[in-house]
Amino acid sequence: MSIRLLQISAYVLVLSALLLQRAEAASPPPALYTRSQALQGASAFEWKCASCHGHHLQGGVGPALEGPVFASAKSGFTIQQIYEFLSVEMPAYAPGSLTRTQYLDITAFLLQQNGYPAGSRALTDRIASESTVPLLFQAVVQAPAGVAKSRAGAGKPLAIPRTNAP
Amino acid sequence: MTRFQAFLPRRCLWRIVLSAVLLGPAAGAIAAGYPVVTNARLLHAASDNGWLMFLRDYTGDSYAPFREISTRNVSGLKPAWDYKIGMRQGFEGSPIVNGRYMFVTTPKDHLIAFDAVTGKVLWKYQKSLAGVGLKTVCCDVVNRGVALYGNNVYMATLDNYVVALNAQTGKVVWQKQIKPADVGYAMTLAPLTLEGMVIVGTSGGEYGARDFVVALDANTGREIWRQYTVPSPGQPGSDTWPKGKIYRHGGGSAWLTGTYDPSSNTLFWGGGNPGPWLARLRPGKNLFTDSLQAFNPRTGQRKWYYQYTPHDSWDYDGVNTPMITSLTYHGRRYQAIVHADRNGWLYVIDRRTHKLIYAVPFAHAISLAGFRDGLPYTDDAVRPAVGKQIFTCPSFLGGKNWWPASVDPATHMVYVPTIHTCMTMKGAPTFYKPGLPYLGETFKVVHDPNDSNWGALQAFDLDTGKRAWNRETRLPWDAGAMSTAGGLVFSGTPQGHLLALDARTGQVLWKSPKLSSGIIAPPVTYRVDGTQYVAILAGWGGATPIWGGDMVKSVANIPVGGHLYVYSLK
């Protein structure tokens, strides 16, 4: 095979990989938790996490936990990494002190606040521990009238993701 | 990237210029100019009328030779001026004063310049943190103050910039980023300026960083040297680490300002805890973590070291200030380093022989069990492992955290802010991921079973190693100490009182009215036109409310919000 042919093949391969990546990025985020879990998670977050991370996850003495800076491609967090970390080391004043259900609910709430849709299947310890799904902030479209973006403890309806709203 | 505002209205400027012309230089107005900060002034900062650097001078002793405010008249202290800053995070900064210019930093890297006499705001600067997640900042988004050199003021930032600003205008002269943000590194410390260099160190021991001290040219920001606290393979000390790549995430954060001994031309800088916290993952002593490091300040070459806690598994950073002093112990005169460590021991080290003179526990200390031939050894029974929970003292917050102690050459005492905490700790699974903590342990801070209080301010006689006095407090003692030739020790309380204590007895001689928030910053003092001032930032926060375990409840209702207070006798 000539060098020229090799170069062309390499370009084709790279181009294909890029296109595949774009296709993946454009695909709707999966529904990994239930609405009920996110609601429970909002309550647990308010009680156990908001003092450091802010009532709206906007950050305070601890980092913001929603938005394009936190859940960025540059950060490259997966759901498994976030779940493993927070269920072992959080809250900082008493790591590991919450119940497994509370950690799952809080993970569901973080997913919801970063634009991931709720679904019919509950997030389980096994799913969260094995999920290689990247945590990438999903832009939120303007909510329809009467529907606001959900915030911790506010008891408002859920966020409306750009795609795949359940 | 930057915002700069000049706050002097034109009309005001004309008045000042006119006054200066009519009254001459003796008027002492701020328009008389900015006093240039030379190497000579920095070397003699101890006797300067201002407060030129983080802990006043290169010794780091936080001692001022001012006598106007003394044990006899301190009860007459009155508010001179104050300034409400706001923000809800912790205020850990030392106000830095040169002539009539005062520079105050806030959480999230804002910087305000004041007239130190009137409190008038001269300019403000805010480092843009847009796009910065502050993901790898462990213990509140604090800043501990600025450094001065020439006509510049220097600030280290949470996104790892060193920013040089014109002291009179607040205009950025240069800025340089020494590491990307959010991947393990951050900076919260006050820089140190020394012989035309600005020297800083990185935080990140909880996030898999490999930390370092770096010296930049104060005029240009050009990097002069960078010395890692964790050696790479083949470097001296590398045989105290396992083979492989773990050193790349070995911590050793250098997050508190160092000190300088001109007599031996040595820069002292503490190395922080190794990473990950769980020591079983990195067999060896893990140099130069938890260590006093002595550097050649021109090259960054390490001359010698003393490790306070070998093979640390309890997050006992060795960064607390290595204070430079002299003392007489058992009839012998020593040039010493005095250091109150997180592990609960007060170390007194000979600067000439580099050996321990003596060490005494100042808090309940179990993990660091004692000394053999002048070197510390640990209690292996309290080393946590996966599946093994231990109980030990002090907690990872330390017998003392970063809050500056003070050495008083008149009383020969060191004043040590103290917390009485212990902890449970257990090994846990961990993985390294940039942007996330890298610990390998779970933990909970609990009360010291031997002490019903959370805090104390203690005085130790450095010539004997014995405790001279002890002021116990229900809440943790989370503020720095400062002593003066007036026979006083100043410090603050979580309840929001600035205190003046008798340096010889610990008796409280003056207590400020309750300020708007609790105090975690160190006080400073300065003189302008013969008047002595004492300044303190109130603004509760820092590590205690985040990591404090059972202590969190006791401080949960302390109001937050930054506020600068200045007192004088007039």
Whether residue B442 and residue A89 make contact (CB cut-off 8 A), yes or no, is yes
Contact indicator for A160, A147 with CB cutoff of 8 Å: yes
pLDDT at A5: 57
- Answer yes or no: is pLDDT of B20 > 50: no
- Answer yes or no: is pLDDT of B336 > 60: yes
Q: Which chain A residues contact residue B141 at CB under 8 A? A: 61
Poorest-confidence range of B1-5, B33-37, B356-360? B1-5
Q: Name the residue facing B552 among A70, A81, A93 (closest C-beta).
A: A93
Q: Which chain B residues contact residue A134 at CB under 8 A? A: none
Q: Are A164 and A100 found together in one domain?
A: yes
Range of the domain at B467: 34-568
Test the B interface: residue of A61, A110, A129 with most B CBs within 10 Å: A61
Tell me if B5 is assigned to some domain. Answer: no
Q: Are A19 and A35 found together in one domain?
A: no
Distance of CA B377 to the CA centre of its chain: 26
Q: Are A154 and A100 found together in one domain?
A: yes
Task: Tell me the average pLDDT across B220-246.
Answer: 98
Task: For residue A153, give both structure tokens.
Answer: 């403890």
Contact indicator for A61, B141 with CB cutoff of 8 Å: yes
pLDDT at B32: 64
Test the B interface: residue of A89, A125, A135 with most B CBs within 10 Å: A89
- Answer yes or no: is pLDDT of B464 > 70: yes
Taking all residues of chain B, what is their mean pLDDT, rounded to a whole number?
95
Q: Name the residue facing B547 among A81, A84, A93 (closest C-beta).
A: A93
Task: Tell me the average pLDDT across B295-322.
Answer: 98
Whether residue A93 and residue B548 make contact (CB cut-off 8 A), yes or no, is yes
Whether residue A92 and residue B546 make contact (CB cut-off 8 A), yes or no, is yes
pLDDT at B199: 99
pLDDT tens-digit map of A59-101: 999 999 999 999 999 999 999 999 999 999 999 999 999 999 9
Does any CB of chain B come closer than 8 Å to the CB of residue A64?
yes
Q: Are A24 and A35 found together in one domain?
A: no
Q: Which residue would you say has higher pLDDT here, B153 or A160?
A: B153
Q: Mind telling me how many Å the CA of A54 is from chain B's nearest CA? A: 11
pLDDT at B9: 36
Q: What is the DSSP string of chain A?
A: --HHHHHHHHHHHHHHHHHHHHHHHHSPPP--EEHHHHHHHHHHHHHHTHHHH-TTS--SSS---SSTTTS-TTTT-BHHHHHHHHHHH-STTSTT-S-HHHHHHHHHHHHHHTTPPEESSPP-HHHHHH---B--PPPBPPPPTT-----TTT-PPPP-BSS---
Residue of chain B whose Cα is closest to the Cα of A84 = B430
pLDDT at A14: 52
User: Alpha-carbon distance B109 to B200, whole Å?
Assistant: 15
User: Alpha-carbon distance B404 to B164, whole Å?
Assistant: 25
Q: Name the residue facing A81 among B141, B436, B552 (closest C-beta).
A: B436
In chain A, the number of structural domains is 2
Task: Tell me the average pLDDT across A13-23.
Answer: 50
List, in order, residues 6 or more apart from B150 with CB less than 8 Å away.
Answer: B36, B37, B38, B218, B219
- Answer yes or no: is pLDDT of B504 > 60: yes
- Answer yes or no: is pLDDT of A143 > 90: no
Whether residue B428 and residue A75 make contact (CB cut-off 8 A), yes or no, is no
Torsions phi, psi for B175 (to 5 deg): -150, 145
Q: Which chain B residues contact residue A81 at CB under 8 A? A: 431, 433, 436
Whether residue B545 and residue A95 make contact (CB cut-off 8 A), yes or no, is no
Q: Are A8 and A52 found together in one domain?
A: no
- Answer yes or no: is pLDDT of B390 > 60: yes
User: Which residues of B are annotated as catalytic?
Assistant: 315
Which residues of B158-240 form beta strands (DSSP E)? 161-166, 172-177, 192-194, 197-201, 212-217, 223-228
Q: What is the DSSP string of B46-91?
A: GG-SSB-STTSSTT---EE---SS-TTTGGG-EEEEEEEEE-SS--
Whether residue B442 and residue A70 make contact (CB cut-off 8 A), yes or no, is no
pLDDT at B300: 98
Does any CB of chain B come closer than 8 Å to the CB of residue A24?
no
Cα dihedral value B53, B54, B56, B62, nearest 10: 180
pLDDT tens-digit map of B169-206: 999 999 999 999 999 999 999 999 999 999 999 999 99
pLDDT tens-digit map of B521-530: 999 999 999 9
In chain B, the number of structural domains is 1
Whether residue A75 and residue B435 make contact (CB cut-off 8 A), yes or no, is yes
Q: Which chain A residues contact residue B435 at CB under 8 A? A: 75-77
pLDDT at A139: 76
Q: Name the residue facing B436 among A60, A85, A93 (closest C-beta).
A: A85
pLDDT tens-digit map of B243-269: 999 999 999 999 999 999 999 999 999
- Answer yes or no: is pLDDT of B21 > 60: no
Q: Name the residue facing B546 among A76, A82, A93 (closest C-beta).
A: A93
Residues 89-148 of A with CB under 8 A from B: 89, 92-97
Task: Tell me the average pLDDT across B369-379.
Answer: 98
pLDDT at B386: 97
pLDDT at A25: 52
Per-residue confidence band for B117, with pLDDT thresholds at 50, 70 and 90: very high
Query: Which residues share a beta bridge with B346?
Result: B340, B360
Q: Are A36 and A23 found together in one domain?
A: no
**Which 3 state secondary structure label does DSSP give B297?**
coil
Query: Considering only CB atoms, which residues of chain B are within 8 Å of chain A?
Result: 88-90, 131-135, 137, 140-141, 182, 428-431, 433-437, 439, 442-445, 541, 545-549, 552
Q: Which chain B residues contact residue A95 at CB under 8 A? A: 428, 442-444
Tell me if B18 is assigned to some domain. Answer: no
Q: Which chain A residues contact residue B442 at CB under 8 A? A: 88-89, 95-96
Q: Are A13 and A52 found together in one domain?
A: no
pLDDT at B191: 99
Task: For residue A78, give both structure tokens.
Answer: 């997966």
Q: Are A66 and A140 found together in one domain?
A: yes
Task: Tell me the average pLDDT across B310-333.
Answer: 98
Contact indicator for B384, B378 with CB cutoff of 8 Å: no
pLDDT at B411: 98
Tell me if B10 is assigned to some domain. Answer: no
Q: Are A14 and A94 found together in one domain?
A: no
Range of the domain at A6: 1-28
Poorest-confidence range of A23-27, A45-49, B490-494? A23-27
pLDDT tens-digit map of A97-118: 999 999 999 999 999 999 999 9
CA distances from B512 to B75, B491, B525, B567 (A): 10, 11, 15, 9
Does any CB of chain B come closer than 8 Å to the CB of residue A28?
no
CATH of the domain at A99: 1.10.760.10
User: Alpha-carbon distance B12 to B7, whole Å?
Assistant: 10
Task: Tell me the average pLDDT across B283-302.
Answer: 98
> What percentage of chain A exceeds 70 in pLDDT?
68
User: Alpha-carbon distance A73 to A76, whole Å?
Assistant: 5
Task: Tell me the average pLDDT across B270-288.
Answer: 98
Per-residue confidence band for A19, with pLDDT thresholds at 50, 70 and 90: very low
Q: Are A10 and A60 found together in one domain?
A: no
Q: Are A164 and A92 found together in one domain?
A: yes
CATH of the domain at B214: 2.140.10.10
Task: Tell me the average pLDDT across B207-230.
Answer: 98
Task: Tell me the average pLDDT across A133-156.
Answer: 54
Q: Which chain B residues contact residue A88 at CB under 8 A? A: 428-430, 442
- Answer yes or no: is pLDDT of B2 > 90: no
Q: Name the residue facing B443 among A70, A72, A95 (closest C-beta).
A: A95
Q: Are A38 and A7 found together in one domain?
A: no
